[in-house]
Every structure is written in structure tokens, then in C-alpha cells.
């Protein structure tokens, strides 16, 4: 436009501007499924419309084809390969401050994700969501799912899947109560199978509940998802009833309400608690208006057990015990009773647990029908306050019950007959004679008859093997009762026969054989068997029988078929044979042994003996005792205690009413001969103390009543018998002493007889445990008597027995028995005390040559024993303290030195004590004077001033002591050598050279042989065999075995 001012002319122009925003690509990020048809359109918004496209990262291979369309300003992307490409857009007309770009991702399917609820109720529909992601985990847009050919399917035909919306893949209707999996597939990819639980709808049982106030009832819930779901209960009217989390309903007041139960669980998709299913229960609370006894029928057979129960009467409906039995706190008490307990009785349901019906008072009871008749059951129910209408009412009800007799088989009791050919049996029932009985053969073998029915239930078998069934009917028109039982009959041939005793007779005590008591009558029965061992039932089959001894037993036919009565007539054995008459080869044999039933039987007893007769037949039924000769034997009829009055033979009878009449014989005799029952030579006896383990010195004595040596019968009785007052308080059976006797001793020295009262005592002894008699020899414990006989030579001991009856009407003396006797050796002293100043002393052992020859000395540390001298009737031993125990302050008390004889088993003990310097604390160690000892000179203790001098001179004193000991040994040797000619030549020959230095003559008498102890129930003599002497006396520790020193050992 030209300017109007002429002085200032101008040129101007105008431009139209188009305002455009900065360009942008929408969407800036695109996910493209690698498929030729899966194209994506990118919109270019704003900008000038003149653009230049390029790649920010151009790939080596083309990933996508870009088609830019200017008119709609869009870019169509066609995928060529999997990968990533970044587009850059430049506006040719605008200056843009930032780069405009878009990221295009072309990828295949990496995974498929299905989201679906894990629980579904039968018949319901749910939505399943599908997400397809690439390798980066980015989901493809749903618009591209159509190019992926996604195919949903399930592993179960019970779940149906249908397409839904674009976002929803399928709908799953549940058809069955099962757990199934739903799987979605696309191409070669597959989604993980989600678990879907198809559950039944929640159902609460029962649907209708009627309760009394305060009664409780728990709902049973079924269905719903398991196991994660829980049931939540709620009540419609909390005033009428209440419910807790476990479904327990408690009735409060009369009225109606509902209980709603919901099955709830956590939904994994939404994360919230979801109700999957619900149900409702209708509750009615009423008060009790009456009660009745519930029994389906009132006619029962005897011997039955039946359950009866009570039921309430509410408004218009009869309820079960569920309604009222749980009412609390007191509840309803039920009192049951029966009118006739002989017909029927009522007991508690828990009778076997010891609970009575009176204590239980519950709504149910057990009825036992006992005998036929009529009975009434009564029930009284007492209501507590608030449960009944009217309040605290008492309701009653009663039912009349008729008990009918039940048909029972008495023969056969198990309903089965096994019959032989041509056998006869009868069917017997408890209704015979009172009901109209009929018998019918139900089946039989084809064409032939196995059994034939006769009147009154008799069944006759034929010669045909087979089975048959007999129906027994009892018709009682008055009672309107018709009862039937069946009997099965089997017919088989006889294969074997056996004869067995029916009567019970006890065997004699301590006897391994059974014997029928003399005079006893026993019953035997023959049993027939088929070829597999089954016993036939009662059948009339002819049998034969024969005996080999008719004098021992007597046989006669019994009342029943196949039974025999056997009477025991004489002691002994008889063989009885039976057989089937039609088949003699079918037979059986049995031994019938007859013995005495009276104890003792056939006994020989001594005159004046008290006898206790007993029998093992029975103890609960008393019997009667008698004898044929009252002058020979006096017997008490009630107890069986008898006394032998004179010699001879008597018969003793015992009778038990209706059981047995038996007898036995008894012989009463005097003593004919007395002998000493020695099976071996007696051991040596001495008048000194014997070793304790040897026991008493017993000489067995035997009394005979015949010249041939017949002994009297030992009378064994038990404390529980009639003679129990005569038996000591001991356990078990004992014997009675029959012979009174005394033992007489004679001690001879050459031609003269010495009195034995000072030396030896003989006592009579009876062993009640074995029934044996002995003479018991005892030594008189007197030191002087031992010393008196110790030096005597040629002593002989003789034993005699004088026997007589208890009344001393006669006596019998035995011949003399020489008892090997050796006088006991004696010690010069039995206690010895030593000290440092007198550490040795001599002990003299005096005795016969036989005793000294087998003498053994045993000592233990700290005592040392050495033999000093020997003569023909004495040995001197030196007792000293062992060298290693001679300490200045050593002390011991009562150490034993044992002197024993291997010949007579005599044993004497010397007690040795030792008191060290200045020690007299132990009692008896430093007495002023001991028995047989010289006075002990006390040893002075060195003063304190001389202690150092004694210590310095210890070596000098030791040397002087050694010299003194050597001189003393030489002097002793000279003295012994001068006395040695006084020994006998034989005795001196056994002295060892190291001690006496003398040459032994060769004519020493040999050692007497050792005697062995008695055997076979005789006296318990034991003799220790002499141990060989050692070459020198040895010392041993107290913990080790002590050495033994013989007379001729050094």
C-alpha cells in the first residue's frame, strides 16, 4: 500500500500465517504382532503437513514397511520381521524444539496369561481374561488377538468355554462338582493351566429344625469351596435363637427365625473376600406339650433285645429327641418302669458299662423279653421350668407289650443232623406238646429218597448218601403265631468208631496213669465217625462188645443207644472192644485200669501208728469210713484218722453216697529187723568240730517187718487233710514217723569200755520231708574231753539202735555197727598275742598218728607258720609275724590260723594278734594274761632323750639281730638232732632233709586211702581230699587263696 505522505513514500506488503502445533505421533509406542495382516496405523497430529520420515536406528534387515499417507496424515506399519525400529519425523515447515519419534516393536507371542476365578459353583458363569505378552513382558493390544488364532480349550468335558467380549476370552459355565483346568493356546504358545474348583452349592442340614427352649443343635454344612472357604453363619431373629461360628444353634424363646450360612473365601483376582455360595435353615422354637413311647411293634418273641425310645408332642408335629434331649441346664428326666420283670425288663443303653437305668434317666432304654406273657412299659417325664406347657408339667405314657414263645431246636441244637445209613434220629423242639407241629421234607436227591419222615419228628436215613432239608413248623392259633425252623440232614457211611468215657473220675495224685477207683461205676459212650472225622449224631446202630478180663470190670448196656456201664470190680487192667455189628472191621479198643482210691492203699504200717486215710475222688461231698476189724484198727468215720491197735490185716471201706463204695487193705506188723542202710563205707568220725559245709554226721537206719527186708510203707499226708494237726507248720506234703527209736553208742579202748557221754552224743532223727530215719552223731564241745582222747590209741566206736512202738509194748535191738572213729587233735592254745619283744611263739598239736599225717595248716599274711618239731603224737609249729610286717607301730587282731584234718574233716582255729610298740588300743591285743599263754611283758617306749641315740644305732642293732638269729638256728638244730632217735622208724622216714638233716628209713607206712561220701539219698557226708604239701611254708595275701601246709611239708 502506498503511503499518502508525499514526502515520505513507502512500500508495504501482507502475509497470511497458518498457526500449527508441534507435530506428534500417536501412539508413540506401538506393539505389532508379527503377522502379515497385523498392520498398525500411526496418526500424525498437528504440524505443517510437510514431513520427512526417517529411522533413528535403521536395522540391517527391514523390520517393517512404512506407508505414509499425507491426506489423512497417517503412517501404516506393516511388520516384516521381529525387531525394533524407531521412526523420526521432521516438519519441513516448522522449527520444532524437540525430536518427534515413535517406537515400533514387532514381536511374536512369548506367553499367554489367563486370569480366571479359581472357584465356581455348579451351574454358574464366570469371566476368564486373557493377556498375550511378548518377550519384554508387554501385552499385545486386544485388537491384534484376532491375528494370533487363540484357541481356548479345557482338559475336562465338564467345563464349557465360549467367547465373550474383546477383553474377555471366554465364559466358563460349571456343570459338575469336579476340579478341572482351562487352557488357552495360540500358535505354538500355551497358557499355564489355571486350577478351577467346581464345587457343589452350600447345603445346610437339616432344612427345618424344631427345638425346645435352651436346647441346642449344630448344623451340618456340606458343599462350598474347599478347603480355603469358611462358613459364616448369621441369625435372622437373635431373640428367638442364637448361632455361633461353628453352626451351633441355641433356642432361646418360642418363635420362628432363619439361619443363613455363607461360604466365603478370598478371590485371587480381586483380592477381596467373596461369597461363593449360601443357604438358609428355618428354625422353630416350641414348648413341650406331651410325650409318647415310640415302638414300631408291640408283639415280640421271648429272648429278644429291643430298643425303645420316647418322643415329644409339641404343637402339630411329633418331633425326635433332637428337639428336646439337649435342653439344659436341668433338662427333662425320664423314669422308665416295667410292670412284670419276669416277662420283660428295662435296662440302660450303657448297661455293659455298669450304668443302671435308674441312674441314667434318659430318653432311651433297652427292653429284654424273658418269658412269654403280657407286660406294660411306663414312662414318666418331668419338665423343668420354661420347657413345657403347662410349666413344670409331668407327662406319662405307657405301652402294652406281648411276649410270645420262640421256637427253638433242642435236638439237634445247631440245626444239623449227620446220620449213618439206616440211622434213626428225632427232631425235638421246645414247643412239642403245646403247639401243632408239622414236618415237611423240602428237598431230596433226584429219584431216590435220602431220609424218610415219621410221626413226631422222627427222621430215618436210607442207604443213599446225600442231603435233605426238613422244615419244622409250630402253629399256635390262639396267639396267631406261626414259626418255622429248618433242619439240615446229611447221610454218610460209617468209617470208624471210638469208645470214650462219659463219667469223670479223677486220677490219683502224683500218678501219670489214670485208673478208675475200685467199686466205681463209669459210663462209656460209643461214637461213630465218617471218613473225614465228623461224629454222627444219635443213631440206632447195632454194636457188639467183648472183654479180655471179666473179673476186673463188669460191662452192661446203658440206657442210651451206644452207651455202656462199666463197674470196677478188681484192681488190674482190662481191655474192652466194641464194633459195628454189620461191619465188624470197624472196631475200637480201650484200656480200663482199676486202682485203689484210698490213700494209703495196701500199706504195711508199724504197730501203734496213726494213719490218715484220704481219697482223691471228691472233696465237696463227705464220705463215711469203716473197717472190718475194730480190734485191729480203730478209725474215725468222719475224718478217716485211724490207729493201728494190734498186728494183722484189716479192710478199710469208704463210701460216698450215690458216687462210690470202695475199699483197700492194710497190714499192721512189728519190727522184724533193724539194719543200717549203707550204700558206701562211712566216713571217719571224730569228737572235734567238723567243717560247717559238711553238715551233720547222719547214719541211715532202716526198719523191716519181714525177714526178707520189707520196709514199712511211708505214710505221706498233706497239711489240708484230717491229720493236719499232727504235721509241722511246713509247706507241702510231709511224712509221719511210724517207729520210735533211740541210738546207742559204745566207745572201747582195747578190752575196756569208756563212757561216751563226755565225748560223743547219738540222737535219733526222722526227716519228715523224705520219710527216712537216721542216727545223728554229735561231738561234745569240751576242750578237756578232746585233750583226753587225743593221745589214746586203739579206740573203737560202735552204734546200735533200739526201736519200739509209741506205747512201748515191745522193743527190738539191732546189731552193732562199727563207726570209723579217730580221736580229734587238740591245740595247746587257741589264742595267741605277739609283740615286738616276743614276735614268735610255739603251738603244739596233739593227736593220733592218722590225724597228724593228714594235718593241714592254712595261714594268711601277716602270720607266718613253721614246723619246729615232730613226735609220734604231737607236732610243734612256730607262729611268728612275717618279716615285712614287723614295723614298730604295726598292729593286727584275731588273724586266723586254721588247722584241719583231711581224714576226719576236723577244723580248729588259732586266733593271732600283734601289738606294735606302744599300741594297745585294740581290745584284747594287750591283755595281762590269756588262756594258755604266759604273761606278756610290756615293751617300754624310748624316751625323748634317747630317740636320737636309737636312730643312730639302728644299723648296729640290725647286725646284732642277724647274729642272734643265726646262733638260735644252730642251737635249735643241735637240740632236734639229739631228740630224733625217739621217733618211730616209719614216722621219722617222712621228715624232710632240709629241716632235720636225717636220712629217712624206707619203711614208713603208706597213707590211708580217702573215703568217699555216701550217695543215693544218704547222709550228706563230704570229705575234702588232702592237698599235697609244699616244699616250704609260704605266706600269702589276704586277697589270695591261703596256702595249705601238711605235716610233712617244709
Nearest alpha-carbon partner for 313 in 334, 336, 288, 293: 288
Closest CA to 897 of 837, 845, 838: 845
Tell me the three cell numbers of residue 73.
Answer: 496424515
517-528 residue pLDDT tens: 888 888 999 999
pLDDT category of residue 973 using cuts at 50, 70 and 90: low
Greatest mean pLDDT range, 640-644, 778-782, 944-948: 640-644
Q: What's the distance, Cα to Cα, between the start and end of the chain in Å?
A: 175
The angle formed by the CA atoms of residues 194, 196 and 202, to the nearest 5 degrees, is 160
The pLDDT of residue 801 is 95
Q: In the Cβ-directed half-sphere of 141, how many Cα atoms lie within 13 Å?
A: 12
d(CA 750, CA 876): 29
C-alpha torsion 878→882→887→888, nearest 10:
0
Q: When comparing pLDDT for 677 and 417, which is higher?
A: 417
| Residue 906 banded pLDDT, cuts 50, 70, 90 | confident
Dump pLDDT digits (tens) for 719-744.
545 565 555 444 556 888 889 999 99
Window from 752-756, 821-825, 966-970, 1044-1048 with minimum mean pLDDT: 1044-1048
More confident residue, 85 or 1029: 85
Buried (b) or exposed (e) across 222-233, using 16+ Cβ within 10 A?
Answer: ebbbeeebebeb
Strand bridging mode 416-419 / 481-491: parallel
Q: Poorest-confidence range of 270-284, 645-659, 723-737, 856-870?
A: 723-737
Q: What percent of the chain has pLDDT over 90?
A: 21
Describe the strand order of the beta sheet including 458-461 as a list of residue ranges.
424-426, 458-461, 451-453
Three-class SS of 536-595:
CCCCCCCEEEEECCCCCEEEEECCCCCEEEEEECCCEEEEEEEEECCEEEEEEEEEEEEE
Q: And the C-alpha cell for 671? A: 519190727
Lowest mean pLDDT among 16-25, 204-213, 645-654: 16-25
Count CA atoms within 13 Å of residue 757 on its CB side.
1
Is it the case that residue 1034 has pLDDT exceeding 70?
Answer: no
- Residue 515: name the closest of 654, 626, 615, 621 by CA: 615
- For residue 901, give the H/E element and its range: strand 891-901
The residue behind cell 533413528 is: 56
Backbone angles phi, psi at 283, to 5 degrees: -115, 135
For residues 519 and 597, give the distance between their C-alpha atoms in angstroms, rounded to a whole number.
Answer: 9
Q: Judge contact between 818 and 1005, C-beta under 8 A.
A: no
The C-alpha cell that represents 851 in the structure block = 590225724
pLDDT of residue 191: 61
| Residue 351: pLDDT band with limits 50, 70, 90 | confident
In the three-class reduction of DSSP (H, G, I as helix; E, B as strand; rest coil), residue 822 is classed as coil
Say how far residue 730 (Cα) sits from the centre of its chain: 33
How wide is the angle at C-alpha 559 spanned by C-alphas 556 and 563, nearest 5°? 60
Give the 3-state secondary structure of residue 956: helix
The burial class, CB within 10 Å (0-12 / 13-18 / 19+), for 631 is: exposed
Is residue 379 within 8 Å of 310, Cβ to Cβ? yes
| Average of per-residue pLDDT across 822-842 | 88
* DSSP label of 726: G
Buried b (16+ CB within 10 A) or exposed e, 391-408: eebebebebebbbbbbbe
Region 107-128: what's the mean pLDDT?
Answer: 81
The confidence score (pLDDT) of residue 164 equals 61
Q: What is the mean pLDDT of the segment spanning 123-134? A: 82
- Stretch among 327-336, 447-456, 637-646, 719-728 having the lowest mean pLDDT: 719-728
Q: Which residues, in sequence order, are CB contacts of 1039 under 8 Å at separation 6+?
A: none
634: helix, strand or coil: strand
Residue-level pLDDT at 97: 66
37: cell is 495382516
Q: Is the link from the previous residue into 535 a cis peptide, with omega within 30 of 0?
A: no
* pLDDT of the residue at 163: 66
Place 23 in a pLDDT band, splitting at 50, 70 and 90.
confident
CA pair distance 760, 824, nearest whole angstrom: 11
Mean pLDDT across the chain: 78
Q: Where is average pLDDT lowest: 65-79, 533-547, 1027-1041? A: 1027-1041
pLDDT tens for each residue of 161-199: 766 654 444 444 444 433 333 444 444 556 666 777 788
- Residue 845: the pLDDT is 92
481 phi/psi in degrees, rounded to 5: -120, 130
Which residues face 436 on adjacent strands? Answer: 475
Mean predicted confidence (pLDDT) in 830-848: 88
At 280, the pLDDT band (50, 70, 90 cuts) reads very high
Q: In the prediction, which pLDDT does 733 show?
A: 67
Q: Which of 256, 331, 336 is nearest to 295 (CA)?
A: 336
My answer on whether omega of the bond before 412 falls inside 30° of 0, hence cis, is yes
Give the confidence band of 996 by pLDDT, cuts at 50, 70, 90: very low
Q: Where are the beta strands (DSSP E) in 320-457?
A: 333-338, 344-347, 364-369, 373-382, 394-404, 409-411, 416-419, 424-426, 428-429, 436-443, 451-453
Q: Which residue has the cell 504358545?
A: 189
Q: Give, in degrees to the nearest 5, the angle at Cα 680 between 677 and 685.
A: 90
Q: In this predicted structure, what is the pLDDT of residue 19?
A: 73
Q: Is the pLDDT of residue 963 over 90?
A: no
Q: 907 — phi, psi (to 5°)?
A: -145, 125
The predicted-structure confidence for 470-483, as pLDDT tens digits, reads as follows: 999 998 877 778 89
List 842's β-bridge partners, or say none: 878
Q: pLDDT at residue 249 above 80?
A: yes
Distance CA 485, CA 471 (A): 6
234 has pLDDT over 90: yes
| CB within 8 Å of 1036: residues ≥ 6 apart | 860, 861, 1042, 1043
Cβ(42)–Cβ(75) below 8 Å: yes
Most confident by average pLDDT, 687-696, 701-710, 1029-1038: 701-710
Amino acid at each position: 500500500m502506498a503511503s499518502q505522505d508525499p514526502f515520505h513514500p513507502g512500500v508495504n506488503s501482507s502475509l497470511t500465517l497458518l498457526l500449527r502445533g508441534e507435530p506428534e505421533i500417536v501412539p508413540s509406542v506401538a506393539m505389532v504382532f508379527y503377522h502379515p495382516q497385523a498392520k498398525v496405523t500411526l496418526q500424525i497430529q498437528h504440524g505443517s503437513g510437510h514431513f520427512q520420515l526417517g529411522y533413528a536406528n535403521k536395522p540391517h534387515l527391514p523390520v517393517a514397511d512404512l506407508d505414509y499417507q499425507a491426506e489423512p496424515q497417517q503412517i501404516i506399519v506393516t511388520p516384516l520381521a521381529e525387531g525394533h525400529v524407531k521412526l523420526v519425523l521432521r516438519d519441513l515447515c516448522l522449527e520444532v524444539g524437540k525430536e518427534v519419534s515413535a517406537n515400533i516393536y514387532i514381536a511374536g507371542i512369548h506367553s499367554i496369561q489367563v486370569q480366571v476365578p479359581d472357584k465356581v459353583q455348579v451351574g454358574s458363569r464366570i469371566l476368564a481374561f486373557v493377556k498375550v505378552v511378548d518377550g519384554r513382558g508387554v501385552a499385545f493390544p486386544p485388537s491384534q488377538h484376532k491375528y494370533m488364532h487363540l484357541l481356548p480349550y479345557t482338559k475336562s468335558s465338564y467345563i464349557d468355554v465360549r467367547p465373550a467380549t474383546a477383553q474377555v476370552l471366554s465364559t466358563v459355565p460349571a456343570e459338575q462338582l469336579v476340579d478341572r483346568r482351562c487352557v488357552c493356546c495360540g500358535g505354538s504358545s500355551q497358557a499355564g493351566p489355571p486350577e478351577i474348583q467346581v464345587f457343589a452349592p452350600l447345603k445346610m442340614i437339616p432344612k427345618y429344625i424344631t427345638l425346645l427352649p435352651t436346647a441346642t443343635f449344630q448344623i451340618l454344612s456340606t458343599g462350598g469351596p474347599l478347603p480355603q472357604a469358611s462358613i459364616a453363619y448369621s441369625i435372622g431373629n437373635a431373640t428367638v435363637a442364637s448361632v455361633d461360628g461353628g453352626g451351633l444353634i441355641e433356642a432361646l424363646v418360642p418363635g420362628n427365625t432363619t439361619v443363613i450360612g455363607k461360604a466365603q473365601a478370598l478371590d485371587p483376582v480381586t483380592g477381596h473376600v467373596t461369597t461363593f455360595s449360601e443357604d438358609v435353615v428355618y428354625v422353630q422354637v416350641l414348648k413341650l406339650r406331651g410325650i409318647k413311647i415310640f415302638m414300631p411293634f408291640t408283639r415280640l418273641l421271648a429272648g429278644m433285645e429291643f430298643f425303645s425310645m420316647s418322643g415329644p408332642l409339641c404343637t402339630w408335629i411329633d418331633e425326635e429327641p433332637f428337639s428336646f434331649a439337649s435342653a439344659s441346664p436341668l433338662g427333662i428326666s425320664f423314669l422308665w418302669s416295667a410292670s412284670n420283670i419276669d416277662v420283660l425288663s428295662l435296662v440302660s443303653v450303657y448297661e455293659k458299662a455298669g450304668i443302671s437305668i435308674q441312674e441314667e434317666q434318659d430318653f432311651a432304654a433297652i427292653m429284654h423279653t424273658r418269658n412269654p406273657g403280657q407286660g406294660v412299659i411306663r414312662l414318666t417325664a418331668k419338665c423343668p421350668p420354661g420347657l413345657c406347657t403347662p410349666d413344670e408339667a409331668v407327662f406319662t405314657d405307657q405301652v402294652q407289650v406281648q411276649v410270645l414263645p420262640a421256637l427253638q431246636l433242642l435236638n439237634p441244637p445247631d440245626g444239623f443232623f449227620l446220620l449213618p445209613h439206616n440211622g434213626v434220629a428225632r427232631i425235638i423242639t421246645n414247643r412239642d406238646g403245646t403247639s401243632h407241629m408239622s414236618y415237611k421234607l423240602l428237598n431230596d436227591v433226584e429219584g431216590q429218597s435220602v431220609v424218610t419222615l415219621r410221626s413226631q419228628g422222627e427222621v430215618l436215613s436210607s442207604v443213599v448218601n446225600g442231603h435233605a432239608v426238613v422244615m419244622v413248623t409250630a402253629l399256635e392259633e390262639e396267639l396267631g403265631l406261626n414259626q418255622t425252623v429248618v433242619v439240615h440232614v446229611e447221610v454218610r457211611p460209617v468209617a470208624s468208631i471210638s469208645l470214650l468215657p462219659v463219667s469223670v473220675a479223677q486220677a490219683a495224685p502224683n500218678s501219670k496213669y489214670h485208673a478208675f477207683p475200685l467199686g466205681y461205676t463209669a459210663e462209656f459212650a460209643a461214637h461213630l465217625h465218617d471218613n473225614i472225622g465228623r461224629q454222627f449224631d444219635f443213631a440206632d446202630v447195632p454194636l457188639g462188645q467183648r472183654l479180655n478180663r471179666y473179673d476186673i470190670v463188669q460191662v452192661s448196656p446203658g440206657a442210651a443207644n451206644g452207651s455202656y456201664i462199666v463197674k470196677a470190680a478188681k484192681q488190674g487192667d482190662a481191655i474192652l472192644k466194641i464194633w459195628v455189628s454189620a461191619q465188624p472191621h470197624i472196631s475200637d479198643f480201650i484200656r480200663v485200669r482199676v486202682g485203689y482210691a484210698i490213700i494209703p492203699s495196701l500199706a504195711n504200717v508199724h504197730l501203734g501208728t496213726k494213719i490218715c486215710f484220704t481219697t482223691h475222688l471228691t472233696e465237696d461231698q463227705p464220705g463215711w469210713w469203716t473197717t472190718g476189724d475194730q480190734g485191729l484198727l480203730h478209725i474215725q468215720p468222719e475224718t478217716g484218722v485211724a490207729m493201728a491197735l494190734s498186728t494183722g490185716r484189716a479192710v478199710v471201706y469208704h463210701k460216698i453216697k450215690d458216687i462210690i463204695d470202695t475199699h483197700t487193705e492194710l497190714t499192721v506188723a512189728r519190727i522184724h529187723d533193724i539194719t543200717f542202710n549203707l550204700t558206701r563205707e562211712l566216713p571217719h568220725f571224730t569228737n572235734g568240730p567238723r567243717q560247717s559245709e559238711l553238715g551233720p554226721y547222719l547214719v541211715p537206719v532202716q526198719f523191716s517187718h519181714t525177714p526178707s527186708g520189707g520196709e514199712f510203707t511211708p505214710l505221706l499226708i498233706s497239711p489240708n487233710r484230717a491229720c493236719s494237726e499232727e504235721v509241722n507248720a511246713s509247706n507241702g506234703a510231709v511224712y509221719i514217723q511210724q517207729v520210735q527209736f533211740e541210738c546207742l553208742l559204745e566207745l572201747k579202748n582195747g578190752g575196756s569200755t569208756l563212757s561216751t557221754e563226755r565225748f560223743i552224743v547219738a540222737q535219733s532223727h526222722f526227716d519228715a520231708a523224705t520219710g527216712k530215719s537216721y542216727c545223728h552223731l554229735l561231738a561234745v564241745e569240751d576242750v578237756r574231753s578232746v585233750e583226753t582222747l587225743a593221745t589214746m590209741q586203739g579206740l573203737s566206736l560202735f552204734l546200735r539202735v533200739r526201736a519200739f512202738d509209741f506205747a512201748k509194748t515191745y522193743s527190738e535191738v539191732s546189731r552193732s555197727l562199727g563207726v570209723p572213729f579217730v580221736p580229734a587233735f587238740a591245740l595247746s592254745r587257741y589264742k595267741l598275742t605277739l609283740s615286738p619283744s616276743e614276735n614268735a611263739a610255739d603251738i603244739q598239736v596233739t593227736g593220733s598218728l592218722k590225724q597228724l599225717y593228714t594235718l593241714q595248716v592254712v595261714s594268711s599274711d601277716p602270720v607266718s607258720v613253721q614246723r619246729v618239731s615232730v613226735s609220734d603224737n604231737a607236732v610243734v609249729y612256730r607262729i611268728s609275724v612275717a618279716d615285712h610286717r614287723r614295723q614298730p607301730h604295726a598292729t593286727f587282731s584275731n588273724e586266723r590260723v586254721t588247722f584241719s584234718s583231711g581224714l576226719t574233716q576236723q577244723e580248729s582255729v588259732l586266733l593271732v594278734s600283734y601289738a606294735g610298740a606302744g599300741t594297745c588300743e585294740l581290745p584284747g591285743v594287750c591283755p595281762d594274761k590269756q588262756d594258755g599263754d604266759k604273761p606278756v611283758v610290756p615293751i617300754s617306749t624310748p624316751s625323748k632323750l634317747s630317740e636320737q641315740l636309737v636312730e643312730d644305732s639302728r644299723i648296729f642293732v640290725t647286725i646284732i639281730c642277724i647274729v642272734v638269729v643265726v646262733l638260735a638256728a644252730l642251737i635249735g638244730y643241735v637240740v632236734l638232732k639229739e631228740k630224733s632217735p625217739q621217733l618211730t622208724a616209719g614216722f621219722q622216714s617222712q621228715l624232710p632233709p632240709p629241716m632235720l638233716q636225717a636220712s629217712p628209713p624206707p619203711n614208713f607206712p603208706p597213707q590211708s586211702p580217702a573215703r568217699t561220701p555216701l550217695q543215693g539219698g544218704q547222709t550228706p557226708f563230704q570229705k575234702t581230699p588232702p592237698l599235697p604239701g609244699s616244699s616250704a611254708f609260704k605266706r600269702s595275701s589276704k586277697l589270695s587263696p591261703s596256702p595249705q601246709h601238711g605235716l610233712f611239708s617244709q
